[in-house]
Structure 1
Amino acid sequence: MDDRNIILVGMMATGKSTVGAILAEELDYELVDLDAVITGREGRSIADIFAEGGEQAFRSIESAVLQEMLQGERKVISTGGGAVLAPGNAEVMLEHGFVVALTASEDTIIERVSGDENRPLLAGNAANRVRSIMEQRREAYRFAHCTVDTTELNVAEVSQYILLRYRA
Structure 2
Amino acid sequence: MTAHSDTSRLRVGRTVVLVGLMGVGKSAVGRRLARRLDLPFIDADAEIEAAAGNSIEELFRQHGEAEFRAGERRVIARLLEGEPHVLATGGGAFMDPETRSQVRARGISIWLNADLDTLVERVSRRSNRPLLKNGDARQTLSELMAIRNPVYAEADITVASVDRPLGEMTVRVADALQDWIAAHPERALRPAPKR
Counterpart code for 2:33: L
User: Among residues 88, 91, 108, which one is paired with 1:78 in the alignment?
Assistant: 88
User: Is the counterpart of residue 23 in structure 1 residue 11 in structure 2?
Assistant: no
Task: Report the identity percentage.
Answer: 37
CA shift, 1:50, in A, is 0.6
Whole-Å separation in 2 of the counterparts to 1:133 and 1:60? 19
- Identify the residue that residue 162 of structure 2 maps to in structure 1: 151
Structure 2: runs of 5 or more not aligned? 1-10, 183-195
Counterpart code for 2:59: I
Normalising by structure 1, we get a TM-score of 0.94
- Identify the residue that residue 116 of structure 2 maps to in structure 1: 106
Whole-Å separation in 2 of the counterparts to 1:47 and 1:163? 31
CA shift, 1:47, in A, is 0.9
- Identify the residue that residue 190 of structure 2 maps to in structure 1: none
- For residues 134-163 of structure 1, what are the alpha-carbon distances to aligned partners after superposition, in whole Å with 9 as ceiling and x for unaligned? 112121101111101112433222221222
Counterpart code for 1:139: P
- Identify the residue that residue 130 of structure 1 maps to in structure 2: 141
- The answer to whether the Cα contact below 8 Å between 2:17 and 2:88 also exists between their aligned partners in 1 is yes
CA shift, 1:115, in A, is 4.7
- Identify the residue that residue 49 of structure 1 maps to in structure 2: 59
Whole-Å separation in 2 of the counterparts to 1:95 and 1:156? 29
Query: Partner of 1:29: helix, strand, or coil?
Result: coil
CA shift, 1:22, in A, is 0.3
Query: Partner of 1:69: helix, strand, or coil?
Result: helix
CA shift, 1:110, in A, is 0.5
Counterpart code for 1:102: L
Stretch of structure 1 that moved more, 83-92 or 53-62:
83-92
Whole-Å separation in 1 of the counterparts to 2:159 and 2:165? 11
- The answer to whether the Cα contact below 8 Å between 2:159 and 2:176 also exists between their aligned partners in 1 is no
Whole-Å separation in 2 of the counterparts to 1:61 and 1:3? 26
CA shift, 1:113, in A, is 0.6
- Identify the residue that residue 193 of structure 2 maps to in structure 1: none
- For residues 60-89 of structure 1, what are the alpha-carbon distances to aligned partners after superposition, in whole Å with 9 as ceiling and x for unaligned? 000000000001332000000000111221
Query: Partner of 1:90: helix, strand, or coil?
Result: helix
User: Among residues 8, 30, 50, which one is paired with 1:40 in the alignment?
Assistant: 50
Question: Aligned residue pairs: how many?
Answer: 168
Counterpart code for 2:29: V
- Identify the residue that residue 188 of structure 2 maps to in structure 1: none
User: Is the counterpart of residue 62 in structure 1 residue 72 in structure 2?
Assistant: yes
Normalising by structure 2, we get a TM-score of 0.81
- Identify the residue that residue 166 of structure 1 maps to in structure 2: 177
Whole-Å separation in 1 of the counterparts to 2:171 and 2:162? 15
Bigger Rg, which one: 2
Whole-Å separation in 2 of the counterparts to 1:80 and 1:117? 16
